[in-house]
Amino acid sequence: ILNIAYSDLKPDNILLDALGHVHITDFNVAIHYSERRLHTSVAGSMAYMAPEVIGRQGYTWCADWWSLGVVAWELLFHRRPFDGRSADKMKHSILKDTIRLPTNAKEKCSKDGQRFVLAVRLLSDVVRKSHTDGIIIAVGPQPEDSPWLQRQGSRHR
């Protein structure tokens, strides 16, 4: 794990090359963080920020997964999951509103697509709670000789 949070994933920063490969641009607000102390500065575009970023609760790479979920939602449903005509209303929506699939979700995407965009929210909630409770969670396969596993020891789940 490189301990880098990109912090500004949004459609404007995702480009496709001539072969259709995805490239992410604009790394000017990316940060290198420490597992010992979560990052708390607010950077990026609010509509794509995770609650832990907006609420200054501290975050790591997991905030980028939240942003990916918002981007996926926007691609699938042609709108963002959170409303807000002002910065304060947008912040309140991200922090407090229950996420609900649009009524026409079945027409727009598969069940797997629907599960993915909802799972990103759940992942963010679980990881945020684990950090506040002092539990570290690794998502995805970790090699046995991973320095992350050695550093975390028995706290790894």
Q: Which residues form the catalytic set?
A: 8
Taking the C-alpha atoms of residue 102 and residue 115, their distance in angstroms, rounded to an integer, is 13
